[in-house]
């Protein structure tokens, strides 16, 4: 998957999407690390992704990162799944009314479109993953 992800990541015009100024790493590199089979590397990447996409607010780079995060969620170990679900829980806090920006609406639609997958995760044997997935279902 790493090679396929790398090729897809290169196709996204990342420079067009703002991320948190506090982030020292670029989103594509963080996504690659998050997909790592090495637990400590993936967990560090989970923190780096939070800094890049969720520091102080949800940043526009969350929108193009979302499909990659879903792919990672499907292959990750439970502790990394919990990190990704934390991101999704934060994403679900963007405005969902007439004041919402277009990218907010698209991000919320992406979350909603993953309802079935999130529902499946709510039945995970890992209690933390199941709890976070259940909370996310309530928010979307």
Annotate 47-80 with b (16+ C-beta within 10 A) or e (fewer): ebbbbbbbeeebbbbbbbbbebbbbbbeebeeeb
The pLDDT value recorded for residue 2 is: 53
pTM > 0.85: yes
Question: What pLDDT, on the 0 to 100 scale, is given for residue 38?
Answer: 92
Tokens of residue 61, six digits: 């780079």
Q: Which of 80, 79, 107 is nearest to 93 (CA)?
A: 107
Query: Low-confidence residues of the chain, pLDDT below 50?
Result: none
Estimate to the nearest angstrom the gap between the alpha carbon of 90 and the chain centroid.
9
């Amino acid at each position: 998957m790493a090679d396929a992800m790398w090729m897809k990541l290169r196709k996204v015009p990342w420079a067009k999407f703002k991320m948190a100024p506090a982030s020292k790493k670029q989103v594509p590199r963080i996504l690659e690390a998050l997909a790592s089979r090495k637990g400590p590397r993936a967990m560090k990447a989970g923190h780096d992704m939070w800094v890049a996409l969720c520091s102080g607010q949800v940043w526009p780079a969350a929108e193009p990162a979302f499909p990659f995060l879903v792919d990672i969620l499907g292959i990750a170990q439970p502790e990394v799944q919990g990190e990704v679900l934390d991101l999704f829980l934060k994403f679900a806090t963007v405005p969902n009314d007439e004041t919402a920006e277009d990218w907010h609406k698209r991000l919320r639609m992406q979350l909603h479109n993953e309802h079935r997958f999130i529902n499946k995760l709510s039945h995970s044997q890992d209690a933390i993953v199941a709890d976070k997935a259940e909370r996310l279902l309530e928010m979307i």
